[in-house]
Structure 1
Amino acid sequence: MSFPKYYADVSAEVDRIRSFYQNDFDKTCYVIGNGPSANDFTLSEDEIENSIIFRMNWFFLEEQPNFGRRIDGYFSSIDVRELREHLAKVLDSGKYEIRKFFQPHLASNTATDVNIVDSHLLGNSCDHWAVIASDPTLARNMMGRPLPTQGMQALAFAAIIGFKNIKLIGVDFYQDLSKRYAWEVPDEVKSVLQEKDYKPGYEKHHSLDYDLKFYKAIRSRYDFTLSGAPFLSPLLDDLDHMLANDVQSKRSIASSLNSIEKQAFVTLADGEYAIGALALARSLKKHSNIPLVVMYSQNACLFETELRQVGNVILKKVAPIDNPHSHGQERFTGTFTKLNAFNLTEYDKIVFVDSDCIVLTGIDELFEREDFSACPDWGVALRNDFNSGLFVVKPSEHLFNDLTSAMKNFESDDGGDQGFLNAYFRNKVSFLPYTYNTLKRLPVAHPSLVNESEIKVIHYVGMKPWDINRDKDKYAYLENYWLEHITFSEWKYLYWKSRDFKVTKKEVIQYAHRLKQAWLNRAKAAIKKIIRK
């Protein structure tokens, strides 16, 4: 049993801890985990002397003191008797000197008694959970299981007490599936551990999602420079850029309207995607007065009348652009036609949005972006590429000509426009928060990472909401947002225009039921709103 530390005042405990480091905040704080990448780093004697060093858990199993003998803060969140016994031997040998111990518990070998000897042995001990608990936003992440892993807890601690330059070493987020630690775990230590404590990967119920969610919360609350984490540094950099851009992007819709004639949202509506453009146009109309340019390259645009009736929609016929990289995939045949957006030089700036997206809230602040900007391609996998379903760009004839000339010179790893644009804009993209282009797979695959109320744009990648052969039920609640913007008669018209739909009468009836249920829910919500008024 773990006995929590006792103190009458959390803020007083935090002040006591902060005073211990009050002369060190101008130093670099190294949060050093035990992951395999720790072997890739060394610190000079001068760096060690002029830095703050945090270590954790079984770090002392390393063969040599790779980061110096002095440990400015030792972190452990679980009371393990065998760990205490090993640590006591190491401290007695003089191999390390630990200035401060951070644990949320008192040492205990039984369910009823505190181990006074071991508690005293651990010396000047404080509670790092008290520091985390002093911030309600971060404390909320500690109110259940699983907890953020030890490296993330130490990072939160460092940020809260005031360190401004923090470097991660050996905090690998368990991404190396061949090895858990930078050193081999001795058999005598394995014998007192559970298999989960030394096998590669996250423990059951723990996940990268929880750590990234906690990291995002830390970043949103504290200003500091972070480096390190070689396995995931691009991912962490993306989060940093997105959070910074999110702050910079705050702006009123009214101010953006001052130059409305030079700004536009843009989409492509060839074939069946016209019904997607219609839903997109209606969703945008709720939140913005900036026009939507609907490009199409075929003889006519389906739902042309309905699109014009939305208001603030500009239909524009463009020349088709053949895809030299489709790899035989029919779904990517016409995607390069969207590159025409880069040639809309009548606008100073455009925000391109794929027609299989809908907007849930105002996004006019995107027009503040000065560089080519897009969101990360986060779905089932959290990739470091960007998704081309939404991007901000300043159109120019030069850029358009350069893009079209480069099509054959740059490979597309996915066979579509996205792979090509990632190759072309490599290291030139400014990342936006994923909330501006939330792929439908992300909140399903990583529910702990996504707050649904923060989503600004939903992107229905894969099977579309208008498909009869609909996607798995796990996406149905997200598709309901799209269904609110389409009538059944409009969908039925698309169905009869698309002869390649191979569906049964039962499936048509089921789809109609989904549509009608969505409209019923919308009507109920409207009635409740009227009653409240």
Structure 2
Amino acid sequence: MEMESKGNRAYVTFLAGNGDYVKGVVGLAKGLRKAKSKYPLVVAVLPDVPVDHCKILESQGCIVREIEPVYPPPNHAQFAMAYYVINYSKLRILGDGYFYAVMDCFCEKTWSATPQYQIGYCQQCPEKVEWPPEMGPPPPLYFNAGMFVFEPSFLTYHSLLETLQVTPPTSFAEQDFLNMFFREIYRPIPLVYNLVLAMLWRHPENVDLDNVKVVHYCAAGAKPWRFTGKEENMQREDIKMLVKKWWDIYRDDSLDWCNEGSSEEGKHQHQWCKRPMLFNMLVHHQQPNYVHSVVSDS
């Protein structure tokens, strides 16, 4: 996963709707600046994202690209969460080579319909509850699609969308589909690159909080801009600390693009992103979601 040059690489995230997730993207943009990222942030937006939200993102140095929605074939499958259907639009960004992502955790109630949850098996700690031999081989490794690293490819992109049209939707929507499609080339990466918050109370022995690079605020009640501390596990001190860190970055005026855009580095990144390059693959533009998706295009 070596990054030899930064010329053709970017962070890509996806945004839909007119709600408050735009705050999440602003927080991501400012967080990347705080981390002194070498790569620009491209935001793929659906047509229902308001113009004023797009302007907010552009004012933070984001490259905004509109994408057309992607819909699964008609099906009566019930998604684990109703809004998961929106996430199929992430499929307008996809790649070649290996697919790098963090393994998911099967211990939360959203997984209650799965055999893994029902027998207490989790790939994060498979020795605790072993997979019963009578159920056949253990399920293949399964990643969380909130953050991944890949190399875009037109061939893969078209193959993926064609496959989608003949693949019945399942509970976890695009995440199940991506796991199926990239099963043979998926390579796990350390969870410090996408800390799923449930790991803090489900598998704390696997978490090195001091070295976490990316936090995925995916637990119920964990979105920092909506945080009340009332939901289950949200009263934990480590959760409160991570929420505070997010707000510290979000409120830090020194991380605004207007304070960064005059630098030569900032100009270089912004100009690079305005070139069509491989981002035309996401044309009718592009596609991101507040959840962090990382792309590498060499």
1:341 pairs with 93, 106, 124, which one?
Answer: 93
Residue of structure 1 equivalent to 2:214: 457
Residue of structure 1 equivalent to 2:264: none
Residue of structure 1 equivalent to 2:247: 483
Figure out how many residues of one structure are paired with residues of the other and give that number.
Answer: 208
Distance (whole Å) between structure 2 residues aligned to residue 427 and residue 379 of structure 1: 21
1:304 pairs with 26, 31, 54, which one?
Answer: 54
1:295 pairs with 44, 67, 77, which one?
Answer: 44
TM-score (norm 2): 0.62
Q: Residue type matched to 1:371 in 2?
A: Y
Give the secondary structure class of the aligned counterpart of 1:274.
helix
Which portions of structure 1, spanning 4 or more consecutive aligned residues, are displaced by more than 4 angstroms? none
1:281 to 2:29 alignment: yes
Residue of structure 2 equivalent to 1:12: none
Residues 482, 473 of structure 1: CA spacing in aligned structure 2 closer, same or farther, 3 A cutoff? same
1:91-125 C-alpha deviation (Å, 9 max, x unpaired):
xxxxxxxxxxxxxxxxxxxxxxxxxxxxxxxxxxx
Residue of structure 1 equivalent to 2:290: none
- Residue 412 of structure 1 and its aligned partner are, at CA, apart by 4.7
Residue of structure 2 equivalent to 1:332: 84
1:193-249 C-alpha deviation (Å, 9 max, x unpaired):
xxxxxxxxxxxxxxxxxxxxxxxxxxxxxxxxxxxxxxxxxxxxxxxxxxxxxxxx5
1:322 to 2:71 alignment: yes
Distance (whole Å) between structure 2 residues aligned to residue 372 and residue 429 of structure 1: 5
1:46-79 C-alpha deviation (Å, 9 max, x unpaired):
xxxxxxxxxxxxxxxxxxxxxxxxxxxxxxxxxx
- Residue 278 of structure 1 and its aligned partner are, at CA, apart by 1.0
Contact 2:192-2:208 within 8 A present in 1 as well: no
Give the secondary structure class of the aligned counterpart of 2:215.
strand
- Residue 390 of structure 1 and its aligned partner are, at CA, apart by 1.1
Give the secondary structure class of the aligned counterpart of 1:282.
helix
- Residue 302 of structure 1 and its aligned partner are, at CA, apart by 5.3
Q: Residue type matched to 1:483 in 2?
A: W
> Percent identity at matched positions?
26
Distance (whole Å) between structure 1 residues aligned to residue 5 and residue 142 of structure 2: 32
- Residue 319 of structure 1 and its aligned partner are, at CA, apart by 0.6
2:158 pairs with 401, 404, 407, which one?
Answer: 401
TM-score (norm 1): 0.36
Residue of structure 2 equivalent to 1:259: 5
Residue of structure 2 equivalent to 1:473: 235
Q: Residue type matched to 2:246 in 1?
A: W
Contact 1:411-1:419 within 8 A present in 2 as well: no
Distance (whole Å) between structure 1 residues aligned to residue 189 and residue 53 of structure 2: 32
Distance (whole Å) between structure 1 residues aligned to residue 51 and residue 201 of structure 2: 33
Structure having the higher Rg: 1
Give the secondary structure class of the aligned counterpart of 1:261.
coil
Unaligned runs of 5+ residues in structure 1 are 1-248, 344-348, 350-369, 489-533
Distance (whole Å) between structure 1 residues aligned to residue 51 and residue 7 of structure 2: 24
- Residue 270 of structure 1 and its aligned partner are, at CA, apart by 1.4
Distance (whole Å) between structure 1 residues aligned to residue 156 and residue 167 of structure 2: 15
Distance (whole Å) between structure 2 residues aligned to residue 301 and residue 462 of structure 1: 29
Q: Which has the higher contact order (CA 8 A, sep 6+)?
A: 2
Residues 462, 449 of structure 1: CA spacing in aligned structure 2 closer, same or farther, 3 A cutoff? closer
Contact 2:72-2:165 within 8 A present in 1 as well: no
1:401-459 C-alpha deviation (Å, 9 max, x unpaired):
11111114335543321111111112320111111111011123222221111211110
Distance (whole Å) between structure 2 residues aligned to residue 482 and residue 414 of structure 1: 30
1:132-172 C-alpha deviation (Å, 9 max, x unpaired):
xxxxxxxxxxxxxxxxxxxxxxxxxxxxxxxxxxxxxxxxx
Distance (whole Å) between structure 2 residues aligned to residue 267 and residue 342 of structure 1: 12
Distance (whole Å) between structure 1 residues aligned to residue 169 and residue 246 of structure 2: 30
Distance (whole Å) between structure 1 residues aligned to residue 26 and residue 53 of structure 2: 7
Q: Residue type matched to 2:53 in 1?
A: F
Within 5 Å, give how 1:185-224 maps onto structure 2. Answer: none
Q: Residue type matched to 2:63 in 1?
A: I
Residues 482, 380 of structure 1: CA spacing in aligned structure 2 closer, same or farther, 3 A cutoff? farther
Unaligned runs of 5+ residues in structure 2 are 109-121, 124-140, 253-298
Residue of structure 1 equivalent to 2:258: none
